Amino acid sequence: MKIILVGIQGAGKSTQGNILSEKLNIPYLSTGHIFRELSKEKTPTGRYIKETVNAGYLIPDDKALEIVSEYLHRPEYEKGYIMDGFPRTLTQAKAFENGISKVVYLKVSDKEALWRLSGRDEVREDDTLKAIRKRINLFYEFTEPVLDYYRQKGILVEIDGEKSIEEINKEILNKLDK
């Protein structure tokens, strides 16, 4: 099973991704994880990612697509995966087919996401209110068309992400069975 988790920052993607990974026995990963792992490798791609990220740039769509597709060809992902953070744009979604089973959209309000992020034990450098609001706005601008794309393909599952962790997980599992 190949599952994509989508939602604004603070929607609970990594929480649900890790729970689903355990219950479904398939690996969970995020593009952040992929880029961090690859940047450690002493390969042309690893050096490119490291230099691009260290210079403060984002990995361009075409390169991100190539890297993620290549990464997912590794043996540990043969039986499937649960991915968070990709695709982020309609261009990426259209180009990244990869036999996706379901796209799970964890819907939470901006207010709920901000409240959750402010209560995290582990605060990242880039978790300033301004940065978080910027990422939420980018989500609406670039990722909402991705949701429409998957909705039209009939593989989008919308989940109320403001319920308890257990309720959300139960709802996801129920909708994945259908």
Distance CA 151, CA 145 (A): 10
Q: Report pLDDT for 18.
A: 95
Q: Report pLDDT for 88.
A: 84
pTM, full prediction = 0.83
Residues 43-58: what's their mean pLDDT? Answer: 81
CATH number at residue 157: 3.40.50.300
Q: Report pLDDT for 43.
A: 92
Distance in angstroms between the alpha carbons of the first and the last residue of the chain: 13
Distance CA 102, CA 24 (A): 14
Beta bridge partners of 104: 5, 157
Which residues, 6+ apart, have CB-to-CB distance to 29 below 8 Å?
Answer: 81, 82, 83, 84
Residues 155-167: what's their mean pLDDT? Answer: 95
User: Which stretch of DSSP H or E encloses residue 44?
Assistant: helix 44-54
Domains of the chain: total: 1
Q: Report pLDDT for 150.
A: 96
Distance CA 36, CA 157 (A): 29
96: which 2 tokens?
A: 């990244």
pLDDT digits over 54-108, tens only? 776 678 899 989 888 888 899 999 899 999 989 988 999 999 977 899 999 999 9
Residues 17-46: what's their mean pLDDT? Answer: 91
pLDDT exceeds 70 at position 159: yes
Between strands 81-84 and 28-30, the pairing is parallel
Distance CA 144, CA 153 (A): 14
Beta bridge partners of 82: 3, 28
Q: Report pLDDT for 52.
A: 81
Q: What integer best gives the mean pLDDT of the chain? A: 87
Q: Which residue range forms the structural domain that includes residue 158?
A: 2-177
pLDDT band with cut points at 50, 70 and 90 for residue 121: low
pLDDT exceeds 60 at position 13: yes
